[in-house]
Amino acid sequence: MLATLLASIAEKKARLDRLRPLRPQALAGLQKHYDVQLTYTSNAIEGNTLTLRETAEVIEHGLTVGGKPLRDHLEAVDHYEALLWMRALAATENPVDENTVCELHRRIVARSQPDIAGIYSRNPRRIAGSPVVFPNPAKIPELMEQFGAWLKTPPPEPASAFEAHFRLAAIHPFADGNGRTSRLLMNLLLIRGGYPPVAVRPEDRKAYLDSLERASLANDLLPYKTLLHQRLEATLEEYLGALREALPE
C-alpha cells in the first residue's frame, strides 16, 4: 500500500512541478485558504473548540466568538502567525535546526501560554490516557541538540518531513504545544521540498494518535507513515484541482 502511495505522490508532484513557476497572484488566495484550514485542524486535534468558520473569523476579522474560551481565540492567532513565519522561513535557504524548533514553539504559544514559550520543560510530560513515557526532562537539551543536528542532514522528501514530526513528538520537549510544533515543522520541510503543507484533520485524530502511540511503543511506524502519505496524496490532488481553477488556460 505504501509503495502505491509513493508512486501516486511522485506522479502528482511531477504534475505540480510542470505548473511551476506559480504566479504569486494565483497562490495568494489558495495559501490563505490552506493556512486557515491548517490552523483550524492543528488546534482542533488538541481540543480547541473553534470551528473552521470561527477560526477564519478570528484570524481574518479579529472577531471573538461568544461562549468560546479566550485561550481558543489566542491559539488561533498564535498558530496562524507562526504559520506565516514558517512559510517565510521555508522560502529562504536558512538552515532548519534546534533554534527553528524553539522559535516555532515560541510563536505557537506566544499569547496563549507565554510562560512556556520556546522553553524546554523541566517536568515529566504525559498524554492523558496514553501509556507512552517521554524522555526524562534532564535529557531534553541533549536530545534536542542531537535532533537539531539531524535536521540539517535528511533529503527534502516527504519521508524526512514525517520522520522529523515523529522524532520531535517522541522527545516531547515542551510542556504543551508539542503536536502543533511537530506538525508545523513537518510542513516547513514539506514546503521546502516543493510539496503543499498537509493538514491532519479532526476526523483523522484517532488514527493519527493511535499511529504515533504504536510507533513509540512497538517501533512500528508503518501505520503512521501510511496515514501521512495518504494525507499528502489527497492534499496534492486537492491542490492540483484548486490550481487548475486559479490558473488561466
Q: 129 labelled as ligand-binding?
A: no
Contact between residue 68 and residue 227 where contact means Cβ atoms under 8 Å apart: no
Q: 29 labelled as ligand-binding?
A: no
Q: Give per-residue burial for 80-104: e unless 16+ CB within 10 Å, then b.
A: bbbbebbbebbeeeeebbbebbbbb
Q: 176 labelled as ligand-binding?
A: yes
Q: 211 labelled as ligand-binding?
A: no
Q: 136 labelled as ligand-binding?
A: no
Q: 72 labelled as ligand-binding?
A: no
CA-CA distance, 46 to 219, in Å (whole number)? 24
73 in active site: no
Contacts of residue 188, Cβ cutoff 8 Å, sequence gap at least 6: 86, 89, 90, 96, 100, 104, 161
The active-site residue, picked from 73, 165, 172, 229, is 172
CA-CA distance, 7 to 65, in Å (whole number)? 44
Contact between residue 191 and residue 120 where contact means Cβ atoms under 8 Å apart: no
Q: Which residue numbers are catalytic? A: 172
Which positions make up the binding site for ATP?
A: 176-183
Which positions make up the binding site?
A: 176-183
